[in-house]
Amino acid sequence: MKVLVGIKRVIDFQVRVQVKRDGTGVVTDGVKMSINPFDEIALEEALRIRERGLATEVVAVNIGPADAQQQLRTALAMGADRAVLVETTSDTQPLHAARVLAALQAREQAGLILLGKQAIDDDCNQTGQMLAALLDRPQATFTSKLELVDGKARAVREVDAGLETIEIELPAVVTVDLRLNEPRFVKMPDIMKAKRKPLETLKLESLGVEAPPVLEMLTHEPPPKRGAGAKVKDVPELIAALKQRGVL
């Protein structure tokens, strides 16, 4: 079985994001970029599935600019067998990403598609669900535990009421949550080996994917600055202050 893993290039989670002065976006020049943390967990799970002998190949996929080869090389260093970059300079929104992944699935015929539940830059949480709908295949979202048995996937999902266990037939789309695993540390010898692994680059136009209606982002604004705190002498004064602010 082949496992297809979608990874997104995002600003590293340890970087403090700055909004451009003109409000047209966020500053990316000179900023460290990394694999979306949820996608890194998805890749780690794919590697563990292969190590258990339940998959024969792990393919990492990115939709983005040529610079995203760096993140794909990281995926190869983690242990992916090969990588595919669908090159585009335009912003990729969830529906468009789902259509690209569906086109790649038609070519790859993977038994399992793993994605992070969301990306930390836009927090859309939509691509996996849209992809499952386009492929007309089962889906398991927010997965914190995954087992593959007899051509089926048993997933433990994190939902508002607690945990839910479902069983779906493969091929399927699974989006992963933080508690599924802890990604492995990439060692220098693995980074060197990754340079010799295949990384295929495709132009977006070559897939014949129709672009969906584009959502236009009008402006970006930083969150409002927090006001200064205030000290109170005792509980009655605290309650009075909260009532004055309309909290109680």
Per-residue pLDDT at 216:
83
- Tell me the C-alpha to C-alpha distance, in Å, between residue 143 and each of 48, 51, 90, 148, 166: 15, 20, 30, 13, 10
- Is residue 213 pLDDT above 80, yes or no? no
Domain that holds residue 129: 2-244
- Look up residue 12 and give its amino acid: D
- Is residue 177 pLDDT above 80, yes or no? yes
CA–CA separation, 59 and 167 (whole Å): 24
Per-residue pLDDT at 23:
87
Q: What mean pLDDT is predicted for residues 111-133?
A: 95
Count the domains in the chain.
1
CA–CA separation, 122 and 202 (whole Å): 24
Residue 172 pLDDT grade (very low, low, confident, very high; cuts 50, 70, 90): very high
Residue 183 pLDDT grade (very low, low, confident, very high; cuts 50, 70, 90): very high
CA–CA separation, 41 and 151 (whole Å): 22
CATH classification of the domain holding 6: 3.40.50.620
Per-residue pLDDT at 104:
96
- Look up residue 214 and give its amino acid: V
